[in-house]
Amino acid sequence: MKTKQRDKIIMTFLGWGVAFLVFFPILWMAITSFKSEIDAITPSLFFHPTLESYTTVNERVNYFGAVINSVVESVGATMVCLAFAVPAAYAMAFYPGRKTKDLLMWMMSTKMMPAVGVLVPIYVIFQQLGLLDTWTGIIAMFTMMNLPIVVWMLYSFFREVPKEILEASRMDGATPMQQMRLLLLPLSLPGVMSTALLSIILCWNEAFWSINLTSVKAAPLTQLIVSFSSPEGLFWSKLSAASLLAIAPILVFGWLTQRQLVRGLTFGAVK
Amino acid sequence: MATVTLKDVRKSYGAVNIIQGVDLAIKDREFVVFVGPSGCGKSTLLRMIAGLEEITSGDLMIDGAVVNDVPPDARGLAMVFQSYALYPHMSVADNMAFALRLAGVPKAERDAKVGSAAKILQLEKLLDRKPGQLSGGQRQRVAIGRAIVRQPKVFLFDEPLSNLDASLRVQMRIEIARLHSELNATMIYVTHDQIEAMTMADRIVVLRAGKIEQVGSPLELYHYPANTFVAGFIGSPKMNLTQATVRGSHAGGVDVQLPGGGVATIPVEPRNATAGAACTVGFRPETLAMAPEGPMGGKVAVVEHLGGETLVYVDVGDGHLVTVKASGSTSAKIGDVVRLAIDTVEARLFDAEGQAMEPMNRRAIAGLATAAQ
């Protein structure tokens, strides 16, 4: 009994410790953003809090423009992605062929290649098609980037839906579109939602392509952070303020949807 | 009016033949049961009729029209699945109305049809519930209701009772039989349970390894099995299938030597039976009796008292047990040495390949015309 209690205390401390370790960079960034640039270079916890950095960031860049870009691009890409992935996953889950597994593996393998490997061809293609620094271009890029993982996730969620239910609906006269809209999506809604949330978060945090393929018009928040890093050397507190502003919306979004997200991600695994 | 005709219907996955040429004509309003051990292809055959599985070759006709390439919903069939396959996020009423809703039937008409189906199945009070809030038997009734609402030409049942407990199964069996007479519909029912087949079918189709072994009325199959497989599959307790040797044949039938030394004359057409050939004799347990003069003998190995009757298992040599249905008051005990008398008219003789030899004086089975294919 005693040892059990002690174990519990140790585990609790360990858990908090790990959580703190993970959370610390964000905390430090938040603290730094409220310091003046002079205070920012010293790791002290005692300083006069100031909103100076935030004011500067707001003056120098169009924060709300970037937020809108981020929202349009991540939500837009997620919607386009789902439009392709739902039918694909439906077909693979309910009408598998002999090569379906191989196809899924191949799709996943494209994620294993470093993105920088295709930067030049993609850049040139985008340039030729006039897609650089446009919503269309970034949405297309994000869609392609997330398609494998979204198809994979939807595939595994759809497989949880008993085949007989769709067969019964076929007997009732449901077309494939009706099967997806009236049965598959409502029945795997937690899974589809968490897939969509994950896709939005991945798009929001994506930096490589958005930095390389946008400059001003379509620049999302990640681009905004970068603009504070190099030219005049590092200004820690401004960079922190910009970063915090960039991650704030998705942090709030993640907080609000975490129950959904966790449920979706463990759906099936614990069943 | 709905007839279903299968002409040399086959199904194969690559080199594996699941259904190996099935010919069958199902009449209007007939209740046909496909029965067979698991893996015999009975469910696949049903799914092919339903349109859920492609037909590799052969013709499937509904009311005389070939429907091989007609999609499931356009075939005018409704299916009840083993797992019920209800739509879990819809109410009972929505489940039953789903097909009508897809077909664009106006709401008032939908409600009327659902209402009348619910009445037949006593589901009126449950219409607003979700499937998850129902018991197994209720879910089954909703699944049947969903089929009824569509007013199909043919009802297909894929082992609908196997998920229910024993007492509910008996009750649902009666309900489905009652429904069949009420709706006057053609029904095809798949089961592995020969009791369900015996009790509900107008005709039973016995399948094994993708082939039809025999088609006939329940009593026809019971009394005149075409081969040892059907003989062993239909009937509970099972027919005794005893290895024997042909001694000779004459106008009165075939003489066989039974284990235990006795000789019995089975009144069947001798066909190609030659002296010394191996054969199998089939006796139903109720056609055997313990009698001192019987041709077969052995030692009682097990006695099962069922109350009204007693099953006595007699070891006739080499551990081969013969089941005898005796009265509930029999005095047989384990270890008794007994002789068994045989009602030879009811005994069946099968050749070395397991095919039945035609009984002489085959009698008409009460009320049921022979429907052999």
**B367 pLDDT above the threshold of 60:** no
Q: Find the chain B residues whose C-beta atoms sit closer than 8 A to any C-beta of A.
A: 50-52, 71-74, 77-79, 81-83, 85-89, 98-99, 102-103, 146, 150
Q: Indicate the average pLDDT of chain A.
A: 87
What is the percent of chain B with per-residue pLDDT over 90, rounded to a whole number?
A: 63
**A208 pLDDT above the threshold of 60:** yes
pLDDT for res B69? 93
Convert the pLDDT of each residue in B258-281 to its tens digit: 887 788 899 998 877 788 889 999
Convert the pLDDT of each residue in B149-162 to its tens digit: 988 999 999 999 98
**A217 pLDDT above the threshold of 60:** yes
CA B41 to CA B20: how far, in whole Å? 9
Q: What is the average pLDDT across B39-49?
A: 93
pLDDT band, residue A4 (cuts 50/70/90): confident
Cα torsion for A112, A118, A119, A125, to the nearest 10°?
A: -140
pLDDT for res B372? 39
Q: What is the average pLDDT across B125-129?
A: 93
Greatest distance between any 2 Cα atoms in chain A: 73
pLDDT for res B240? 93
Who among B52, B87, B89 is closest to A170 (CB)?
B52
Out of A32-36, B54-58, B330-334, the most confident range is B54-58
For A54-63, B105-114, B154-163, B239-248, which range has the lowest pLDDT when averaged over its residues? Answer: A54-63
**B366 pLDDT above the threshold of 60:** no
The residue among B301, B312, B313, B299 whose CA lies nearest residue B260 is B299
Cβ–Cβ below 8 Å for A162 and B146:
no
Q: Which two tokens stand for residue A265?
A: 């991600």
The alpha-carbon gap from B204 to the nearest alpha carbon of chain A, in Å, equals 25
pLDDT for res B228? 95
CA B199 to CA B220: how far, in whole Å? 13
pLDDT for res A264? 65
Who among B72, B86, B88 is closest to A171 (CB)?
B72
pLDDT for res A230? 63
CB < 8 Å to B85, chain A: 162, 164-165, 167-168
pLDDT band, residue B48 (cuts 50/70/90): very high
Cβ–Cβ below 8 Å for A167 and B102:
no
The alpha-carbon gap from B72 to the nearest alpha carbon of chain A, in Å, equals 5
Convert the pLDDT of each residue in B170-184 to its tens digit: 888 988 988 898 888
Strand order in the sheet with B211-216: B77-80, B154-158, B186-191, B31-35, B203-208, B211-216
Chain pair A-B, CB pairs under 8 angstroms: 55
Parse chain A into domains and list their residue ranges.
63-226
Greatest distance between any 2 Cα atoms in chain B: 76
Q: Indicate the average pLDDT of chain B.
A: 90
Who among A164, A169, A187 is closest to B83 (CB)?
A164
For B292-296, B335-339, B362-366, which range has the lowest pLDDT when averaged over its residues? Answer: B362-366
CA A178 to CA A269: how far, in whole Å? 28
pLDDT for res A267? 54
**B168 pLDDT above the threshold of 90:** no
DSSP lists the bridge partners of residue B5 as B25, B61
pLDDT for res A252? 87
Convert the pLDDT of each residue in B193-225 to its tens digit: 999 999 999 999 999 999 999 999 999 999 999
CA A105 to CA A102: how far, in whole Å? 5
Convert the pLDDT of each residue in A25-58 to its tens digit: 888 888 888 888 777 777 777 777 888 888 888 8
pLDDT for res A270? 38
CATH topology of domain A63-226: MetI-like fold (1.10.3720)
pLDDT band, residue B49 (cuts 50/70/90): very high
CA A143 to CA A81: how far, in whole Å? 5
Which domains are present in chain B? 4-229 (3.40.50.300), 237-350 (2.40.50.140)
pLDDT band, residue A190 (cuts 50/70/90): confident
For A121-135, A146-160, A179-193, A231-245, which range has the lowest pLDDT when averaged over its residues? Answer: A231-245
Q: Find the chain A residues whose C-beta atoms sit closer than 8 A to any C-beta of B.
A: 162, 164-165, 167-174, 178, 183, 186-187
Peptide bond into B106 cis (omega under 30): no
CB < 8 Å to A181, chain B: none
Handedness of CA A168, A172, A177, A183 (dihedral sign): negative
pLDDT for res B370? 44
pLDDT for res B78? 93
CA A152 to CA A149: how far, in whole Å? 5
pLDDT for res B8? 94
**A271 pLDDT above the threshold of 50:** no
| Residue B345, number of CB atoms within 10 A of its CB | 13
**A125 pLDDT above the threshold of 90:** yes
